């Protein structure tokens, strides 16, 4: 498979949950170190978020990284360097986002990392960490989320956006925005 075919396969990859892998936190640490060495000083802070950051949580095997920057202007200026560091993005999609920028890394036709660039200490920064920390600290809540994710993955196997959108109400309820 050539690089373009691999990218297209990753873009259209089905929603498939995997059992928790103890290697996911180490994969985050390795990518954090790689990004910090390739883009020194670009980020205020990098945090592991998403289901791969929750012990025992089934997940799509994609490491989600929350990258804090000083401003959205800085986030936009980092798009090219981030893409030169092995990520890709949709310029059209990112133009629709006002509070963050999104990037994807892939290999062999599978997504490996999502990079979410947001304003450090801003609303999105705090919401993403609050949701992660709620799941980490409340096993019953994490179990409810795992069950919902399994149901939604079965229902939306070929539609990642529908899968993500269907989780939004749960996320809002945890954040107190429902």
pLDDT at 8 over 90: no
Output the pLDDT for position 2.
80
The predicted-structure confidence for 142-171, as pLDDT tens digits, reads as follows 999 999 999 999 999 999 899 999 999 999
Helices 123-137 + 139-155 axis angle, to 10? 110
Q: State the virtual CA torsion across 159, 162, 166, 172 in degrees, nearest 10.
A: 120
The predicted-structure confidence for 94-113, as pLDDT tens digits, reads as follows 888 899 999 999 999 999 99
Q: Which sign, positive or negative, has the C-alpha torsion 75, 54, 85, 97?
A: negative
- Edge-to-edge order in the sheet of strand 63-69: 45-49, 63-69, 110-119, 101-107
State which fold the 3-175 domain adopts: Beta Polymerase; domain 2 (3.30.460)
Residues above pLDDT 70, as percent of the chain: 99
158: left (phi over 0), alpha (psi -120 to 50) or beta: alpha
Output the pLDDT for position 178.
52
Which secondary-structure segment (H or E) carries 29? helix 24-38
Q: How confident is the model at residue 141 (pLDDT cuts 50, 70, 90)?
A: very high
Output the pLDDT for position 6.
83
Q: Which has more confidence, 158 or 10? A: 158
Q: Is 51 exposed, middle or buried (0-12, 13-18, 19+ CB in 10 A)?
A: buried
The predicted-structure confidence for 166-178, as pLDDT tens digits, reads as follows 999 999 999 997 5
Residues 97, 79 contacting (CB under 8 angstroms) = no
Task: Taking residues 37-43, report their average pLDDT.
Answer: 97
Output the pLDDT for position 3.
85
The predicted-structure confidence for 67-96, as pLDDT tens digits, reads as follows 999 999 999 999 999 999 999 998 888 888
């Amino acid at each position: 498979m050539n690089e373009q075919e691999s990218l297209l396969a990753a873009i259209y990859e089905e929603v498939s949950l995997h059992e928790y892998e103890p290697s996911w936190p180490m994969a985050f640490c390795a990518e954090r170190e790689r990004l910090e060495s390739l883009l020194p000083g670009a980020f205020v802070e990098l945090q592991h978020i998403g289901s791969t950051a929750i012990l025992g949580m089934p997940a799509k095997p994609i490491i989600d990284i929350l990258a804090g920057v000083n401003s959205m202007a800085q986030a936009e200026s980092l798009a090219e360097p981030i893409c030169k560091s092995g990520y890709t993005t949709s310029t059209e999609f990112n133009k629709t986002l006002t509070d963050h920028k999104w990037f994807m890394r892939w290999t062999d036709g599978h997504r490996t990392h999502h990079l979410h660039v947001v304003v450090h200490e801003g609303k999105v920064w705090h919401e993403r960490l609050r949701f992660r920390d709620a799941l980490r600290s409340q096993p019953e809540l994490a179990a409810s989320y795992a069950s919902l994710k399994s149901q939604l993955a079965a229902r939306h196997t070929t539609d990642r956006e529908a899968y993500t959108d269907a989780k939004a109400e749960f996320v809002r309820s945890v954040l107190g925005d429902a």
